[in-house]
Structure 1
Amino acid sequence: MRPAELPPLFSALATAGADPFAAACAEAQKGCDAGLVTYDVAPDQLRAAVVFAPDVPLTKAMIMLPLCGIGFQNAFGTLAPPEVSLQLEWGGGLQLNGAHCGGLEISAASRAPEAVPDWMVVALTLTLSSDAKDTGVTPDVTTLAAEGCGAVDPIDLLDSWIRHTLVWINRWEEDGVRPVHTEWTGLAHGIGAQTSVDGKTGLFQGVDEDFGLLLQQTGGAQIIPLTRMLKDAP
């Protein structure tokens, strides 16, 4: 399999079976340059992670999670059959034709909302195929192969994800959060439906400027900040 071919300012590191999320966080903690992309491709799974160096407080920098989601959806749309639909869950999950097929996770050097973290890592996990014979047993879980996307090359998808994500980073820096918000809302899964997040259940009404989830409950509405989705470094 050919190595990843990334845009300028990005560098690729194949992890040879090791967890790219853990590898990226470890490199970030050592002080690596932003733009490092760690990745591993197995027959059944694509895993990758990107190191960022935010220059805004954590609350604002969390936009990298939905922004990377938009980048992935746009990249997938250029390579997958046109009849396939990929949507983005608020917490980073990826829905392919209405079933879960992977997701994005995020970690940062600090959890302090108003502090600028030294580094931030967004990781991708995507299920390419499965040995399961009866897909009806788990109808809410799927794979690229099961949805007719088995011909999508994972390295092409990785390269395209980084390129499209870079486009959206530049757009965010130039035009602010509004276009990101508009694009993400059009791709979001579950807006207007009942959802359970962070132990709370209610109507998913949308997101605020910082992509906090607006949850309508019987007693009123509340905002669940996107920082709740932060993971500890593996």
Structure 2
Amino acid sequence: MSEPSFPPLFTGQDAAGSDPFARACATAEAGCDAGLVVYDLAADLLRAAIIFAPDVPLRKAAVILPICGVGFQNALGALAPPEVAVHLGWDGPIYVNGGRCGALKMAAPGQPEDEPDWLVIALELALWPPSEDTGLTPDETALYAEGCAEVDAITLLESWVRHTLVGINTWVDSGTAPLHREWIGLAHALEGKVTVKGKTGTYTGLDEDLGLLLKIGDKIELVPLTAILTRPT
């Protein structure tokens, strides 16, 4: 298997079967330059994690997660047949043709008002379903079961990083308005009653940092993107 090629300032590291998310977080905590892409490409699963070093408070830097989601949609959209639809869940899930196909995760140290030393976004994408009997899991799918068998995993990984870099540069230059417009057009099931992080309310919109605004009772409550921060288990 050939090694992926990344844009300038990005370097790759093969996780060789270990969890890229855990390795990237450990490497970031130990101290490393931003731009490291840790990846593991199995026959049935694509896993990767990118280390960032944002120079804004974490509450604003967390928009890197939806930037990576839009970057993935753009990457797959350029490689897959035009009838393949990709949508994004607010808290990280990735849907292909309506079925959950993978997810993004985010980790970073510090409090929302702090500028984090690092931020890691991880991607996990099912390439083949675990069973030929896909009727057992009708809400879940895999990339190659959705008409994307010609999409090479290495090419998709490379394209994801490139499109994510474009999204980061747009955010730095133009703020979150372009991201907001593009992301909302890709949102999955973001209407009516929504339950996320233990809160259930009526979706009313997103704030400028793509935090979720829910009407709960008579109040509008904000669920910020920092609420979905996690760490490797």
TM exceeding 0.5: yes
Residue 191 of structure 1 and its aligned partner are, at CA, apart by 2.2
Residue 193 of structure 1 and its aligned partner are, at CA, apart by 3.1
CA distance in 2, matches of 1:66, 1:206: 15
- What does 1:39-78 correspond to in 2, within 5 Å? 39-78=39-78
The verdict on how the C-alpha distance between 1:147 and 1:10 changes in structure 2, with shifts beyond 3 A counting, is same
> Where does residue 132 of structure 1 map in the other structure?
131
CA distance in 1, matches of 2:149, 2:3: 19
Paired residue total: 233
Residue deviations 1:55-76 (CA, integer Å, cap 9, x gap)? 0000000011001111111001
Matched, 1:81 2:72: no
CA distance in 1, matches of 2:153, 2:130: 18
CA distance in 2, matches of 1:191, 1:65: 17
CA distance in 2, matches of 1:31, 1:208: 32
Residue deviations 1:37-94 (CA, integer Å, cap 9, x gap)? 0000111100000000010000000011001111111001001110010001000110
Residue 162 of structure 1 and its aligned partner are, at CA, apart by 0.4
TM-score with structure 1 setting the length: 0.96
Residue deviations 1:101-158 (CA, integer Å, cap 9, x gap)? 0010000022x11100100000000000024122122111000121111221110000
- 3-state secondary structure, aligned to 2:139: coil
Deviating above 2 A after TM superposition, structure 1's stretches of 4 or more consecutive aligned residues are 202-206, 216-221
- What does 1:83-232 correspond to in 2, within 5 Å? 83-110=83-110, 112-232=111-231
* Unmatched 5+ stretches in structure 2: none
CA distance in 1, matches of 2:220, 2:96: 29
TM-score with structure 2 setting the length: 0.97
CA distance in 2, matches of 1:79, 1:216: 39
Residue deviations 1:171-219 (CA, integer Å, cap 9, x gap)? 1111111101111111111222322111122222331111111112343
CA distance in 2, matches of 1:116, 1:131: 40
**One-letter amino acid of the counterpart of residue 165, structure 1:** T
RMSD: 1.1
- 3-state secondary structure, aligned to 2:185: helix
